[in-house]
Structure 1
């Protein structure tokens, strides 16, 4: 058995192993995706940019002869001192264990740059869950992956409309109120609307903004995401959220490249889950988010 840091030339093998194992709930990790070409493109294009660590600094691989049998990767935010963990993946626990991959990583000097590790693990992936319990990672939340396929969806009779310029300030105010500490502010979303596959749909009542949904389509990989939707408290309970989601899905399914929609919802968010299930989404995966503390910046 040979454990080492990966090389750029091994990206196709890494993508193939992750794609193959991630197709099974018992091996599934939420961050990585399941399409081999998408994984490979992500590894080639999103690692090593703008001072970030490259594949050969942030991926541990294990070989049995010439066969790749284990992978553990880290998508590191250097400034924030944190990393999303791709794995660990082991094709055969009798050949390579999660603990061996993790121990090798900790001996790598790059590990000193990470203070917080984030794992996203399928509830059926008992071997990784046991490994995380062993290294004393803390459970942070439980999430649900929902799926809706095109054939089972019926378009709504009355659709919501796209965000007009005169309501942009109201949209920014509502989004920043509903999601005060998230990855895109309302102003950020407006900038992202410059890309034609990004849309904000809204619902109005008495010319007032009564709800919105922000969505993105990635046609290259046939993927769609519902990033945010929000309804002011005084307008809730009127079916506005359902109408917004139906409109977004109807727009998604105008593209031939999109045959199903997947999204992630907090398992405790019963209201959102009810809305999505009402539209026709079904549960695909249940996952647990974990946090493992790494070394402090002072080296402790």
Structure 2
């Protein structure tokens, strides 16, 4: 297995459409709170709007030969885009805006690795490269990760990487993780 990592442009995101849709199906399969809310979530309703609303995007893929086996999508966005919706679901704000001193926040927005490639260090490399990118913005003081309910492996992974649980939204549908630097 010769895994390579490659940053792709926004113009190339179609190459991760299937993996993004696999991520939505995976999250639904793990969810114990409102799994049906994932029914309307897919590449077109999650990835495309997020890319369009962000100020800057970073997409890194892991490849085994020419096959994309995982990806991480991070962005720098105005904190106000997290005010009152999640994909197609209305909700309260994702976090207390007054607790964020800057106008923009960093977010590790999507992260997925095909099952047979998990637990091989690929996730750690994708995560570290994403954090390096997010940390390169001196104006960003807060990085958020939103973990769907039931995805305990992801939650444990991010906690091991230094993120802290901030709070939950949508009655526990999402756990908000935060790292302030």
Question: What's the offset of the Cα at 1:169?
Answer: 4.5
Larger radius of gyration: 1
Question: What's the offset of the Cα at 1:285?
Answer: 2.7
Cα gap change, 1:201/1:269 in structure 2, threshold over 3 Å: closer, same or farther?
same
The residue number in structure 1 matching 2:121 is 239
> What's the RMSD between the two structures over aligned residues?
3.3
The residue number in structure 2 matching 1:213 is 72
Q: Select the structure that is richer in helix.
A: 2
Instruction: Say if 1:225 and 1:263, in contact at 8 Å, map to a contact too.
Output: yes
Task: Note the residue ranges of structure 2 that are not aligned, 5 or more in a row.
Answer: 26-38, 79-101, 174-181
**TM-score, length basis structure 1:** 0.37
Cα gap change, 1:279/1:251 in structure 2, threshold over 3 Å: closer, same or farther?
same
Question: What's the offset of the Cα at 1:238?
Answer: 0.9
Question: What's the offset of the Cα at 1:250?
Answer: 1.0
Task: Note the residue ranges of structure 1 that are not aligned, 5 or more in a row.
Answer: 1-158, 292-300
The residue number in structure 1 matching 2:179 is none
Residue 179 of structure 1 pairs with residue 24 of structure 2: yes
Instruction: Say if 1:213 and 1:230, in contact at 8 Å, map to a contact too.
Output: yes
Aligned pairs for 1:146-295 (under 5 A) are 160-163=5-8, 168-180=13-25, 181=39, 183-185=41-43, 189=47, 192=51, 197-218=56-77, 221-266=103-148, 268-286=150-168, 289=171
Question: What's the offset of the Cα at 1:185?
Answer: 1.1
Task: Give the 3-state SS of the residue equivalent to 2:107 in structure 1.
Answer: strand
Aligned pairs for 1:45-64 (under 5 A) are none
Aligned pairs for 1:25-36 (under 5 A) are none
Give the paired residue count: 133
Question: What's the offset of the Cα at 1:259?
Answer: 2.0
